[in-house]
Amino acid sequence: DAFDYPRRGAESRMTKDETMVKSADKDSEDSKKRPAVTPITSEGDMPQKKFYRQRAHCNPLSHNDAFDYPRTPQDMDWTQEHYPEPPPGNSLQPTVLDIGCGFGGLTVALATLLPKETILGMEIRAKVTEYVRLRIVASRKENPGSFQNCSVMRTNSMKFLPHYFRPHSLSKIFFCFPDPHFKRKNHGRRIVSERLLSEYAHFLKIGGRLYCITDVKELHDWHVEKCNAHPLFRKLNDEQVLKEDPCVHAMSVETEESKKVDRNKGSKHYAVYERIDDSEAPALDAESFFD
């Protein structure tokens, strides 16, 4: 032939395969020379928040398949990872939830504020959850015998609560500075809604309390509207009752978001609701069901 075209086929493929093998060998040699990666925080040391920053909010509806969870609450062993040395007399299962716990300020504070309760912070972001876990481990190390009644779990609370908790097993649920999801099309992502309030009522004991706090007035109005409309929740308006509840003050000052609001001289809006007995709920019929 007048022209010597490059050959394609077996020889060309062989050359490519040989190149890949050489590249793999080189990567293997480099990995042996490379020093082992040192963890950002050693187990038992207090973590530094700057290494665990993550985007403040995420879409909970896009994480449906990213989590392991038990088939039923009976399949969950809380002592294995969360409460290996529970205080005598405390429940071996969580009784207080800090949903969307962030960097764990309230979760850790509640451990000493409510020593007879078992606290669980729930967070959807992986890096933030790891920060809280290390923070609790370090607190236990620095204060032997303390903070054994608190833990943290990475999960999607909008999806998987029924897999973890039995009916009427919780005494308190906190929602502190949740994502406002300002756009109307995203209101379905809000952590307080008609559907989710029925779940929370299912898990709360009679007389249990639901706490909401935010620095966004529009979101506070949403919380009040949805909770007021739910037949199994009654708003606590008595200032003396609220003053005597130490959790009201704690959620206003212990979370990282509340401290940021204080630094920016912003305002905080909160509401507390009590789970009432089913017999106290207003009767519904076909005409009033959707009112």
Residue 27: per-residue pLDDT: 53
If one counts every other C-beta atom within 10 angstroms of the C-beta of residue 201, the result is: 22
Rounded distance, CA 235 to CA 242, Å? Answer: 11
Rounded distance, CA 57 to CA 181, Å? Answer: 9
Residue 192: per-residue pLDDT: 96
Residue 290: per-residue pLDDT: 54
Residue 19: per-residue pLDDT: 47
**Of the candidates 157, 179, 105, 169, the residue with the CA atom closest to the CA atom of residue 135:** 105
Q: What share of the chain is helix, strand, coil (3-state, %, to 5)?
A: 45, 15, 45
The overall pTM is greater than 0.85: no
Could you say which of 30, 75, 179, 262 is catalytic? 179
Per-residue confidence in pLDDT tens, the chain, 291 aa: 444 444 544 444 445 445 444 445 555 555 555 555 456 777 777 787 777 766 666 666 665 557 889 999 999 999 989 999 999 999 999 999 999 999 999 999 999 999 999 999 999 988 999 999 999 999 999 999 999 999 999 999 999 999 999 999 999 999 999 999 999 998 989 999 999 999 999 999 999 999 999 999 999 999 999 999 999 999 999 889 899 999 999 999 999 999 999 999 999 999 999 999 999 888 766 565 555
The single residue listed with the structure tokens 């060309």 is 12
221 assigned to active site: no
Residue 13: per-residue pLDDT: 47
